[in-house]
Every structure is written in structure tokens, then in C-alpha cells.
Structure 1
């Protein structure tokens, strides 16, 4: 018997002799509640989790029950008419004895029962094997609850499972990764499973907690680790018996570095020395080595492909919104172009594209009167606002880099507040000579200006987005930015795009709330005048939106599959992170091939596992089994 953490872990110290083996693993997730108890040995108080206490109570009670009843059980079993009745009476007696032990400890330690749905009192698993000798035959009665297991390791068939985890869909899974459906605990109903087997000598029969096998890639890896440990078993100068020597080697080779609690207990049948052990399992090791190497390669491939798939899906989740916005804006721009779209087959091949393109062209050819477009002054104001927003967006990255440096950036509100303070400064009149002399009227004007500055400062500090936009608009509409504004107004492609925005045929992410408000008011005026003239049909923007909503999935799929250059300057792609767009497209393009690799790798794993599990899943062939 062995335990990698001694008496410190939630596994109880295992119990094993030539009659039986017992392993109990406290369920940490539901047994986190700590209880304060009096230590009779030291006279001090100690604190232990409910899981820690549960594993020890159950392990000790099972041990006591076996000691009291096993001799009578064996005698009755050899001379009975119904093996099933005798076994079920024995298992039922064990269950009742465990329940009595749990009840007794709750009262002895004065523990208030938990009413929580999550946290339980004394939750633990159990795996035990009772060895029944009858001449040359050895029968094994396995009793368990939870996901601790019983195994036999034979020369001919390798590792075979004698128990079935109390977990969701455990009979169909290669690894134990499901939530448990049954454990021993105080106060709630639990079940004990049992199964009876005849085993062939020589063999190893043992019980173990899930820490021994859970972190292994597969049951084949667990068997290989056992075989490797046996073949390389070192006895040194130890005078211990064969079981103790094997336990020490398993602890050193298999369990020492495992983070989880690991507990194992069992018997060696038909072998009396370490050399016997090695000679018995050497042929199995030679036969099995290539099989485990094969499944190890397949599992590594499968895990790598799953990792790649997870990374691609993460990329898609991160950049989906950004990607969709780009595609929508590209569709809006391309549908409004007068030029041919032959190079943009990803859009032109969409169903109903030609029909919607004709609708947009028809809307664009309408002969609106000067009154319908509104006056030039309102339109020019919208254009000025768009240019100011464009400049703000263009230079915002530079300003952010200033803020990241040690530069002292003064907010607009603070700036105006400082101006107001300067005008009120006692030394202002003495040290500052203005063009106009001070008089009573100028004094009043200054006081008025101060009050205005203070009010503006408070407004700017209020966080109102419209006020903030007004400040930014004022800055980029000031004379100092005149040359920069004129440069962009002279750019025909840029002003054409801005005209599209003003008319509602395109959108731009950099448009501020203030500008958007002005644009809405402008278009509202145009719409009212258009309705007066009874202009028919929908606007180009509405047509594009209808086309987008109807064909969105196909448009995005086509764009993902398209490998041409769509990153033309005219589509303002500086407003998007092109690396994100590239990664998103690449992830979507690669996922189908990765999924196929996962499917093939899983098929390879299943092929090896299906061949192995016919012998491994011995519990399906138990001569007698049941649940009580």
C-alpha cells in the first residue's frame, strides 16, 4: 500500500493485507467545510475538512466491518445455494455499518449537519477488494462508490478495470473527467456497487484513488507506467517483502511528482520475488510498448490540433465585431461606387447583388432640386465638422502617445479655469498691459468673461460628450489648422467619401456625437423637403442595409474566402487594425482543415482504444454485479 502525501492529504491511509484492500478519497470539492475537533493524543484542537474526516471514518469503518465479518462471510459463501444473496447481505451490512459510523461521529464531534446543496458532510469515495480463495482459484469481490477504482494487472491481458466510475457516461469514456453521480456521505442517500470476478494467477490486484490515473493521457499510459515500474523495480538492500518493495518503487517512479493525492493498495498473487514480477510482466511489456507509443502519438497530435482550434476560435471571438464592421463599411462603399466591381467578386457573386445594385443606382440618379438638398451653408457646416473629426481621429494616436509620456497634458476644463484665475489675479492689472485701458466698463466686461470662462470650465469637466465634441471641433476649426483642413478638402476621394456620409450613403467610425447630431438634423430637413415633393423609393443607405441584413452570412463567408487585395486607401482602412483583420480571416480559413485533423486524430485514438478496451473493461464481464 502507498500514499504520496502520507496523512496530510484528503485520501485516507490505505489498508491492505492478504484478505482485502481499502482505498478512500475524500471529495475535496464538496467537502471543504472545516471542523474543529479535540485531538485526544495531544489534547489540542485541530481543524480538518469534511472530506479529510470522511475518508478516514469510512476507511476505518470498512476495515472494522471486514475484520468482524469476513471470516463468517467466506465460510457462508463456500457452502451456500445463492452466492448473490450472501454477497448482497454482506454489502448491505457494510452499507449500514458505514452509515452508523458517520452518524456516530457527527454526534461525537457535535457537528451541525450541512443544509447546503454544494457542501456536504464527510463526502468520500470507496474502492475495496475482498479476496476469496477456493483451491487454485482466486475470486475477487469489488465494492466501490465514486471514482476510486479497482484493477487487475495480468500477464496475458494486461490492465483490466474491475469497477465502473459513478460518473456521467463513464462506460463510454476513455478518461475519467465527468462529474460524479454517487459518493458516500452523511445525511444523503448513497449506493454501494459490487462485482464478483475470478482471476488467474499470477496477477496484481489493487485499488487506487483517481490521482493515480486521472492525469495520465489514457488507461494505456497508466498500464505502461505500471509495467515500466515493475520491469525497472529496484530492491536495493531492502529486507522488505515483495509488496513493500513494489509499493516503494511505484511511489518513487509514478506518484512522487503528481500534484493530486495518490493512494494505492493491493496484493500480489502467485509471485514471491522481484525477479518473479519482472519475468512475469516482461513479455507483456514487449508486446504492449508499440501500442502505447502509437496512441501516445495520436493523443499528442489530437491535443495539438485542439490547441490550434482553441487559438483560432479565440481569435475569431476577439475580432469578430471589428471584422464585421469593416466588411459592412466595405459593402457600403463598394455598393456606392460608379466604377466596375469586377475585382471584388466576393461581393458581386452574392445572391441578389445585381438587383440591389440597380436599386442603388436608380436612387442615385434622382434629380433632386436645390431646395431638396438644403442650403449650401448647412451642407458646408457638415463638411467642416467631418473634416474636423477626421483630423481629431488622425492625430488622436499622437496625442495618446503624449499622454503615455511624461508630458503635462492640461485638460480643456482646467485650461479655462486657469484663464479665469489669471484674469482675477491681484497682480494681473499691474503686470499685464492690454490694448484698451481699464475703466468701469472694461472691469465689468472682464468680470463677465471670467464668469463665462468658469461656466465653460464646469461644463467641460462635466463629461458631457457634446460639450467635449464642441471643444475638439473648435480646436480643429481654428485658424491654426486652416492649412491642414484645406489639404484634406482638396483631396477629391476624401471629400467624395464625406459627401457620401453627409447624404447617409456611408458611415465612418470617426464621426463624433456632435457631427452625427448635425448630420441627423440636416438629413431630417432634406427628408421633410423630399416628402413634400413625394420623392419615391428608399434611400441608398436603406437599400444597402436591406441587402446586408438579407445576405450578411454569405457576404462575410465570401469575404473570408477572398484572397485579393481589398485594403485600398479609399476605404479608410487606417481606421481598422489590418493585422486583426488578417488574423480573423486566417483563423476562419484554417478552421475547417484543423477540424478535419482533429477528426482524423480522434479516429486514430478511438481505433487503438476500441481494440484495447475489449479486454480492459472487465467489469462488463463480471460473473455477478449489482448496486445496493
Structure 2
């Protein structure tokens, strides 16, 4: 991968930072409520286009940490990651800020895991740590041990200290710049993906829940069987695979992919906003607007497009895939899901029609989507 013509520091690292709000925000604040907190960021340097989005559903109560996006030019490796503090398991207060704001264990846990991941990747680049799951686990565990926490008077099997998900993608561009070695690392139900021009979105992680069917997970909210936390053992799962360049790497919390009608809708969101965008920053803003319009949760996303000449080349590369996916998702789509008028009738028939369309669409979309899905634990050899 060629370096950009303008001089850059040895390490190019960026995280989401606040930008001036657009003229017409997607979610307007009520007169008696503050604006919805949001961070969006985008930057492009030739073969690398980077995007991150972070939003809070309830102002001041969000528990996702800010996304992590970093590329190291000299070693041609990088990392993207998201962290979703688990509010149900970690709802108890754990820390109070200097201005008196109370923060939950989920809020603290997500940010401690993010700081640990940041420091871990710094040491990976220096060569003092391996880029494997055991090394990352050790860093996260240490930072959680040092983080502020309180012993809750309420106990139970679902309670955790500083609980959070973690979904990261470490990558290394090969010397020939034709392929990329990718290592997803994850705990919980946040996800990592690869988006390829010819075959679309591929999930690279398997949710740590007893249910693994992506469509069924849109209809239910099963408890997680593995979660980063300070008071119990947890596992950082991983695998290693090689992908062709160019490609787009994505990590996201369930606020992005968990409130769509069918798994293919998330890919369509990514490609539709890409097609509309002028540059990486505009892409991040469009994604922010869209997710705030449909999600019922905090939402975080980190994305890196690798191997394209520039943003225009990235858009052109995925234009055929967008046309194909649009046809696939719009044919037979129930009017109740499109916002079209005149879809009245028996609610039971409407629900049955939606379910049938979801099943049909999912079965057509599923083979490519699950091509790189890790095997279930009992299937591993």
C-alpha cells in the first residue's frame, strides 16, 4: 500500500471528535431536552478512508465508548474497535465525575476496555506484544482491575462489574499489497465485518449468545454467555483469515445492526450512504443521521476502507453491489416496511407477510453473509 504523497507522522491515529452540527439534524431535540450527543469523524488519505460514528440514545446516559480507529503507516497494520457497555448487567453506579455526574459500571467498563485496547495496540506496533487474544485479554483484565468500581448491594447471576462488549479488527497488509491478514477479536454481541465489492457484507464474529441466527437475533434479545467484566472470567475469541484487497473493514455495536428489518439492511445502509457521500466525513455524517432515525439504542461504528485509489474509486467499486442488493431487498418488500400509505388490513396478515418476506430474503442473503462466520464452539475441531 503506497503512502500518501504528503508527509505524515509515523503513526496515523484518530478517534471520533465532535464537529459542528449539520443545518438539519436527523433527530431534533425537544424544547426541554438537550441535543442528542453525537460524534462523527471521517478522513481520507488515498488508499485509506476512515469513518467513525458514535451516538447516545438518551443524552448523557450513553454507555458505548467512542470508537477506536488507528492505522500505522510504517508497519502497514491497524486496528478498529467498538465497545458497548452493558447497561442491564452494569446499571449500578461505579464512579462519580468531578462535576458530580454519576457513571454506571457499564460506562466505566466500556471506557476502561477502550483504553486497554489503545495501549495494547500501541505495544503491538512497538513489537513488545503479540496481536493475539491472550495478550489483549491480559491488557483488558489489568485495566478493569485498576478502574473505579463499587460493590453493589444487589447481586444475581446477571449482575456484572464493569461489563462491556468488545469487537476489534486487527489487520496487516501483505508486502504485495494484494491481500490483508485480518484478526477479529471479540467478546459479547458487538460484531466485526468485511465488506467486499463482489460478495457484499461478511460477518467475521459469532455473537456470544445461545442463538446465532442473525434474523432470529433481530427478533429476540438473548442474554450474552461471554462478556468483558471485572468480577468474572471472560474469553476474548479470535480467528485469523486472509482477505483480498480492496476491502472495507467494519466494527459496530448492536445499535447499528440490531434495529433493521433483515440482516441485509445493514449492508444496504452502508452502501446507500456511501453512494450519497462526497467524502469520508460526509459518509460518517450520513451514517449518523440514518442510525439516529431508526435505532432505539446507543450506536457506535468504526470503519476503514483499504486499497482504493481515493474516495471516488471506493464509491465506483461498490456501485454494482449496491444495485444488486437494492433489487434483492426491494422486490416484494412489504409496504408496511417502506412507509408507503395504504398498507392497512388485518394486523396478523401483515405480520405474517413481513415474516415470510424476512425469511425469504434472509435465506437468499445468508450464504455470502455467513461465508466467514466462525464455527459454533461445539463445531470447532
TM range, smaller chain:
0.7 to 0.9
Give yes or no for the alignment of 1:68 onto 2:123. yes
Q: 1:24: how far off?
A: 0.2
Select the residue among 246, 259, 265 that pairs with 2:283. Answer: 246
Contact 1:234/1:249 (<8 A) preserved: no
2:345 and 2:155 map into 1 onto residues whose CA distance is: 37
Tell me the equivalent position of 1:291: 328
Give yes or no for the alignment of 1:144 onto 2:191. no
Give yes or no for the alignment of 1:3 onto 2:43. no
**SS in structure 1 of the partner of residue 248 of structure 2:** strand
Give yes or no for the alignment of 1:55 onto 2:85. no
Structure 1 residues 272 and 295: CA distance shift in structure 2, 3 A = farther
2:134 and 2:303 map into 1 onto residues whose CA distance is: 23
2:315 and 2:108 map into 1 onto residues whose CA distance is: 38
Structure 1 residues 295 and 15: CA distance shift in structure 2, 3 A = farther
1:170 and 1:152 map into 2 onto residues whose CA distance is: 18
Structure 1 residues 172 and 32: CA distance shift in structure 2, 3 A = closer
Contact 1:229/1:250 (<8 A) preserved: yes
Structure 1 residues 114 and 22: CA distance shift in structure 2, 3 A = farther
2:119 and 2:332 map into 1 onto residues whose CA distance is: 43
Give yes or no for the alignment of 1:276 onto 2:276. no
Tell me the equivalent position of 2:295: 258
Q: 1:123: how far off?
A: 0.8
Give yes or no for the alignment of 1:308 onto 2:347. yes
1:617 and 1:602 map into 2 onto residues whose CA distance is: 21
2:182 and 2:121 map into 1 onto residues whose CA distance is: 14
Q: Deviations over 1:366-402 (max 9, x none)?
A: xxxxxxxxxxxxxxxxxxxxxxxxxxxxxxxxxxxxx
Tell me the equivalent position of 2:163: 123
Q: Which has the higher strand share?
A: 2
**SS in structure 2 of the partner of residue 65 of structure 1:** helix
2:83 and 2:62 map into 1 onto residues whose CA distance is: 11
Tell me the equivalent position of 1:430: none
Bigger Rg over Cα: 1
Tell me the equivalent position of 1:229: 273
2:345 and 2:153 map into 1 onto residues whose CA distance is: 41
Q: Deviations over 1:177-207 (max 9, x none)?
A: 3322221111112121112221222221010
Give yes or no for the alignment of 1:12 onto 2:65. yes
Higher relative contact order (CA 8 A, sep 6+): 2
Tell me the equivalent position of 1:511: none
* Structure 2 residues without counterparts, runs of 5 or longer: 1-51, 72-77
Tell me the equivalent position of 1:133: 173
* Structure 1 residues without counterparts, runs of 5 or longer: 75-85, 236-241, 310-593
Tell me the equivalent position of 1:472: none
**SS in structure 1 of the partner of residue 301 of structure 2:** strand
1:125 and 1:209 map into 2 onto residues whose CA distance is: 8
Structure 1 residues 111 and 264: CA distance shift in structure 2, 3 A = same
**SS in structure 1 of the partner of residue 372 of structure 2:** helix
Q: 1:66: how far off?
A: 1.4
Q: Which has the higher helix share?
A: 1
Contact 1:24/1:59 (<8 A) preserved: yes
Structure 1 residues 212 and 101: CA distance shift in structure 2, 3 A = same
TM-score of the superposition, structure 2-length normalised? Answer: 0.73
Contact 1:167/1:178 (<8 A) preserved: no
Q: 1:230: how far off?
A: 0.7
1:147 and 1:299 map into 2 onto residues whose CA distance is: 28
Structure 1 residues 8 and 199: CA distance shift in structure 2, 3 A = farther
Give yes or no for the alignment of 1:156 onto 2:198. yes
Tell me the equivalent position of 2:45: none
- The residue correspondences of 1:348-427 to structure 2 (distance < 5 A) are none
Tell me the equivalent position of 1:618: 371
Q: CA RMSD in A?
A: 3.1
Q: 1:229: how far off?
A: 0.3
1:232 and 1:150 map into 2 onto residues whose CA distance is: 24
Contact 1:129/1:143 (<8 A) preserved: yes
TM-score of the superposition, structure 1-length normalised? Answer: 0.45
Count of residues in correspondence between the two structures: 310
Q: 1:257: how far off?
A: 5.6
Structure 1 residues 133 and 306: CA distance shift in structure 2, 3 A = farther
Q: 1:156: how far off?
A: 0.3
2:244 and 2:142 map into 1 onto residues whose CA distance is: 37
